[in-house]
Amino acid sequence: MEEIYMNRELSWLKFNERVLEEAENEHVPLCERMTFVSIYQSNLDEFFMIRVGSLQDQILLGEKVKDNKTNMTPEEQIQAVVEQVHRLNKRKDKIYKKLMKEAEAQGVKLIDFNSAKEEEKKYLEKYFNREIAPLISPTVVGKRQPFPFLRNKEIYAIVVLETRSKKERLGIIPCTNNMLERLIEMPSGEGRYMLSEELILHYIGEVFKGYKIKGKSLLRVIRNADIDADALYDEDLDYREFMAELMKERKKLSPVRMDLSREIDGNVVDALCKYLDVDTKRVFRSESPLDLSFISQIQDLLRKKPELFFEKRVPQKSPDFRDGISVIDQIKEEDKLLSYPYESIRPFLKLLNEAAEDENVISIKMTLYRLAKQSKVVEALCEAAENGKEVVVLVELRARFDEENNIGWSRMLENAGCQVIYGLEGYKVHSKLCLITRRTEGKIEYITQIGTGNYNEKTSRLYTDLSLMTSNVEIGLEAANVFQSLSKGEVVEEAGCLLIAPKCLQSKVIEMIEDEISHARNGEEAYIGLKLNSLTDKKIMEKLVEASCAGVKIDMIVRGICCLIPGVKGYTENIRIISIVGRFLEHSRIYIFGCGKREKYYIGSADFMTRNTVKRVEVAAPVYQEKLKQRIQEIFSIMLNDNQKAREEDSDGNYHMVRNDAPACNAQEMLYQMAYDKNRL
C-alpha cells in the first residue's frame, strides 16, 4: 500500500513549493511576494538544520531506520531531497530576479559593480576603505592558520589566491558583522543600493595584496541543529543552565549544506567540502543573495506605497465579550471562542489581568511554549505572583529556536515568585493550557482556556488559531489533573472529556474514527473533518484509510506535511485533502467526528504527527455549546470552499490550485471581513 503514502520530507518540500507559488502569484502585491520568497528560504534553512540534520545523524550512527511509510533509507531520502531542492532553488532564483525587476520599476534597485555608475564606483571605493576595511578580519588558510570555524547561516567571502611560487591558498573574510550596514545606499538619492557582502567580494583583492586572484565567491553554511537534549542531560546539572550551554553547542554542529554565489573551480569546492566535512552533493549555487533577510529593508523603503502590500487588517473586538463587565463572569455565563487573527487576543489578556487582581482567585497555572519578545502574558503572571496568587508555569525550554528566549522568561517568572517547571523527561510539553482556580462562597470554580496556538501577542496577528474559554467543571478538573501530573513529572494516564497526549489522544482519535466506520458499515451517513498543520501518524492514517474503504466521507485541510495521498482507487477515494497557503499562517487544529446529533467538535494543540500524538504533552478540548459548534463548522466550511488560495492534492500526491465556477472564496479574507461586519452590527 506504499502508493497511498508520501515520504515526510518530500511532502514538506511540496509545502515549501506552495509558499514559493505565492511568491510568483501576480495577484499577490509585490512586497508580499517578497515576503513569501524570504519565507521559502528561511523555511528551507530550518528544514536542513532539523530534518536533513536528523537524517545525517542516522547515517553517521549507522542506524538502518527506514521511513515507515515509503520504506526509504536515510541516504535515499537525502538524495531525493537534494534533487528537489536543486529544482526549487532554480525556481526561487528566477522568481527573485523578477521581483527585483518589479521593485526597480517602483524606485528601488539593487546594483552590483557591473551596473554601478562611475561616480557610484568612486563612492563605493571610498566607502569600502572608510567603513568596511577597518572592521573586517581576513584569514589565509595555511599550515600556521587553520581553516576557521564558519558560523551557521552567516555569509563569508572566499577567494582562491595564487602565490608567487604558484601555490594556491584560500582567503576568507566574514561578511556578517553587526557594525556593517547590509544595504548600502548610493549618494544619488535615486533608490540605488548594494549589499555589503558584494562590496567586500569586489574589493577582496585589495585585502589580499601580493596574491593573484584565481576565483572568488560568497559562501554560507547551514549547520545541523538537531540535538536531543534529553539524551545528553546530566541530572546533576541545573536544567536551565544545561539548556543554555546546549544552545552554544548547537552553533558548532557539522554543516549539512553549503551555498555559493559564484561558479568556482571544482577542486576548490572539493577542498571546501573537505574542510567543512560536507557532501559535495549538498553544495548549492545561488543566483540570488545567500541571505534574503534584507528584503524587509526593501519593503520599508516601499512602505509609502500601500498598493504594494496587502490591505491593512486589524484584529477586531470580539462581539461575544461586553465592555465594562468582568471577563470571568462572562465566561461563567457561557463558553467563549476567539478566532485569531480575525479577533483580538485582548479578551484573553484581560482575563489574565483580571485573575491577577481577583481576590477570589487562588491560582493560575499555565503552559508556555513560544512567547512574544515583550510578553504581556508574562507580565500578568508576574503581577499575579506578586499579588500573592499561586502561579505555576511550565516553560518548555526545548521549544526549538526559542530556547534562549524561554530561559530569560523563566528567570523573570521565578524572580517574581512563580513556581516554574521545565517540562518532562522524554516529552516536550506543547499544550496550550491555562487554568484559573477560584474559591467563592466555599465553592471551587475553574476557568479553563485551551488553545491551538501559542500565548504570543505577535503571532496572534499572523497565525490563524482558536482559543476556547470555559467554566465547565469537568474540563477544569481534567486540566487540574494535567497540571498536577506535570508538577510530579508524570503524564496523564487516563482522561474523560479531554484528549491528552501522550497516553490519551491517539487512542481516543482512533476510537472516534472506528465509531464512524461502524456507522458507515450500518448504512448510516458517516463523516470526519480534520484541520491540521501536518499529518504523519501511521496508525491514524491507516485507520483513515479503513474509514474511507468503509464509505466514511473525510475532508482534510492540511497546511504542510501530508503523508497520506487521497483519491487512490480502492483505498482513499472518499478522502479529500486541501492545503491553504495565504496571507496568514494556517495554524488552528480542528477535529470533527460524526453527523447531525452525533457531531463532536474538538480544538487543540496537536497535529496528527507521531511526535505530537505519542511523544509530547498535548491537550485537545471538546466544544459543547451549540453556538460555538456552529461557528467552528462555519469556519471549516468556508475553508473547504476556498477557490483562491486552496490547493487540492490529487491521487499522485501533487497539488493543484482549486478552480471552479463557484463564487470567489478566499477563506482568510472572507473570515476577516466577517469579523469586521460583526463589529458594525
List residues with catalytic annotation: 430
Rounded alpha-carbon distances, angstroms, from residue 182 to 124, 193, 194, 206, 606: 14, 10, 8, 20, 39
Number of neighbours of residue 19 by Cβ within 10 angstroms = 19
Sign of CA dihedral 65, 67, 72, 75: negative
Neighbouring-strand partners of residue 470 = 448
Rounded alpha-carbon distances, angstroms, from residue 329 to 347, 351, 385, 469, 477: 12, 10, 22, 12, 19
Per-residue burial over 264-294, b = 16 or more CB atoms within 10 Å of its CB, e = otherwise: beeebbebbbebbebbeebbbbbebbbbbeb
Neighbouring-strand partners of residue 391 = 364
3-state secondary structure 458-510: CHHHCEEEEEEEECCHHHHHHHHHHHHHHHCCCCCCCCCCCEEECCECHHHHH
Radius of gyration (C-alpha) of the chain in whole angstroms? 27
Report which secondary-structure segment, H or E, holds 611: helix 610-613
Q: What is the DSSP letter of 144?
A: S
Residues 6+ apart with CB under 8 A from 20: 36, 37, 40, 88, 91, 92, 95
- Grid cell listed for 49: 538544520
**Cα–Cα distance, 222 to 151 (Å, whole number):** 8
Contact between residue 564 and residue 651 where contact means Cβ atoms under 8 Å apart: no
- Grid cell listed for 477: 478538573
In 3D space, the residue among 1, 222, 115, 11 whose CA is nearest the CA of residue 649 turns out to be 11
**Cα–Cα distance, 584 to 572 (Å, whole number):** 29
Question: Of how many residues is the chain composed?
Answer: 681
In 3D space, the residue among 54, 14, 68 whose CA is nearest the CA of residue 538 turns out to be 68
Contact between residue 203 and residue 154 where contact means Cβ atoms under 8 Å apart: no
Q: How many CA atoms lie within 13 A of 223 on its CB side?
A: 17
**Cα–Cα distance, 84 to 63 (Å, whole number):** 24
